[in-house]
Structure 1
Amino acid sequence: MSGRKTALVTGSTSGIGLGVAEKIVSLGHNVILNGFGDAEAIEKLRRRFEEQYGVEVHYYGADLSKTAEIEKMMEECMARFGAIDVLVNNAGVQYVAPIEEFPAKKWDLIIALNLGASFHTIRLALPEMKRRGWGRIVNIASAHALVASPFKSAYVAAKHGLAGLTKTVALEAARHGVTVNAVCPGYVWTPLVEKQIPETARARGITEQAVIEDVLLAAQPTKKFVTTAEIADFVAFLASDAAAALTGAIIPVDGGWTAQ
């Protein structure tokens, strides 16, 4: 990212997205935050980023499961900054249950937020990226874009779909200076993963400690959670000029999970 750029990071008020947003502002780029949370805490975060790093930071609380709200957010971002140079699609939600017990409304929400939102942000950001001849799109997928786990039908379906969307848009944008890649984290200790633990314990009929040791970290040969800093550093690389030849890649950062 030579020169100051503007990045939109969805789902950036906590977890991986927050780590990515802070990494990008620390490199001297403007950031648009998006996500849910306490309004006062988010405003405090926004001000801290601006004061600490000397960049512009704006927040849009759009509900990305709703197309109209995505379109309004993107329109306002484009009007303010002229373009979104770096788009990081990170917003996501999870629900764990056997498929015969899986609520239809949860399926619809997960598909809309984990897959549909990325389609909408990409279709709205890409034309200006192509016109300018430079852009970076990084989709935060999951190891579940490459492999499946029981009781996560909607999430696995959405993340596999995101991998396909990534490859397709990469091909469409390849001659326009725009790269499109997907990062596939293993288990990262975030509020999303923490929330899964009691749900998975109920679904499997085991203790929460057993979920951590025998389900989550059992999948990762390193026996360690991936850190938000590791994901943020890798996203920053993908958004850099050094990664210009890397596009259409579905890249695991998962402690060896998908190598098995």
Structure 2
Amino acid sequence: MSDLSGRTAFVTGSVQGIGLAVAKALAVAGARIAVHGLASPGQAEEAVATLKAAGAPDILVNNAGIQKTVSLAEADADTWDAIIGVNLSGVFHTMRLALPGMAERGFGRVINIASVHGLVASVNKAPYVASKFGVVGMSKVAALEYAAAGTKATGGVTVNCIAPGWTETAIIEPQVAARAEHFGGDRDKGIADLLKEKQPSIRTSDPSEIGELALWLCNPVAHNVTGTTIPVDGSWTAQ
């Protein structure tokens, strides 16, 4: 297991699901964690104070994201702006602010939670797919720009994407419930029916699995793993 004692990690969208699982994995390894999510004004002020106290992040995990299923014909400018703003612009701004400090210290890890939809497309998801393809491309640029930062001894600065397929999070529950209705409410059969269209393993991932992969990417031995997008998708993108 990576020892992240003394390291500071900022994980966006980390109050539930994949983000929370990543934050937990990093915390177990000893990192100081700054979490992020929708909050009241008071909670937001407290979060900002926590971030300032924690200092510059050694690890940045961009997980925050939104999705709306809508056809190109039905999509509007507000939908496009919202999805691109959170999923792509948010990643850009956190990276541009965090990476220079990482380079100065000789160690840094940026892990962007993309999606299989950063590698392949699906109907009725144009804004979402565009945002995730953008994250994958932008991450490659950042990886190139910071590839020579640091050394093997310090751990270097790396930028990678994780591309989950079907993962057990709240965001998929409405789709699971809808499919389960066709099988008398049997959730397992509903999941199997949903996954067989895309994910050959017909198994969902648990958020903790994404967390463990993120933790491994933070290990100094991963200093030359940069500019990659790692699918966790049961061979979805292998097709």
Q: TM-score range by the shorter chain?
A: 0.7 to 0.9
- In 2, are the aligned partners of 1:13 and 1:33 still within 8 Å (CA)? yes
Distance 1:218 1:237, change over 3 A: same
Pair 1:137 & 2:116 matched? no
Q: Which runs of 5+ in 2 are unaligned?
A: 150-155, 184-189
Superposed CA deviations along residues 71-109 of structure 1, whole A, max 9, x for unmatched, are xx5x973x4233100000000011001111123211111
**Higher helix proportion, which one?**
1
Secondary structure of 2:73's aligned partner: helix
**Which residue of structure 2 aligns with residue 12 of structure 1?**
14
Q: Which runs of 5+ in 1 are unaligned?
A: 43-57, 61-72
Q: What is the CA distance between 1:214 and its match in structure 2?
A: 4.5
Q: What is the CA distance between 1:124 and its match in structure 2?
A: 0.6
Secondary structure of 2:147's aligned partner: helix
- In 1, are the aligned partners of 2:34 and 2:54 still within 8 Å (CA)? no
After TM superposition, the structure 1 = structure 2 runs for residues 39-188 of structure 1, keeping only pairs within 5 Å, are 60=47, 77=51, 79-176=52-149, 177-188=156-167
- In 1, are the aligned partners of 2:60 and 2:109 still within 8 Å (CA)? yes
Distance 1:215 1:244, change over 3 A: same
Distance between the aligned counterparts of 1:217 and 1:147, measured in 2?
16
Aligned residue identity for 2:102: M
- In 2, are the aligned partners of 1:142 and 1:184 still within 8 Å (CA)? yes
Query: What percentage of residue pairs aligned between the two structures are identical?
Result: 44
Aligned residue identity for 1:135: G
Structure 1 runs (4+) deviating above 3 angstroms are 37-40, 195-198, 206-217
Q: What is the CA distance between 1:189 and its match in structure 2?
A: 1.5
Distance between the aligned counterparts of 1:179 and 1:107, measured in 2?
30
Q: What is the CA distance between 1:195 and its match in structure 2?
A: 4.4
- In 1, are the aligned partners of 2:192 and 2:203 still within 8 Å (CA)? no
Aligned residue identity for 1:155: Y
Distance between the aligned counterparts of 1:21 and 1:125, measured in 2?
17
- Alpha carbon RMSD of aligned pairs, Å? 2.7
Secondary structure of 2:22's aligned partner: helix
Q: What is the CA distance between 1:207 and its match in structure 2?
A: 8.2
Superposed CA deviations along residues 198-253 of structure 1, whole A, max 9, x for unmatched, are 8xx7xxxx886598444444211110111111100000001111211100001111
Distance 1:158 1:19, change over 3 A: same
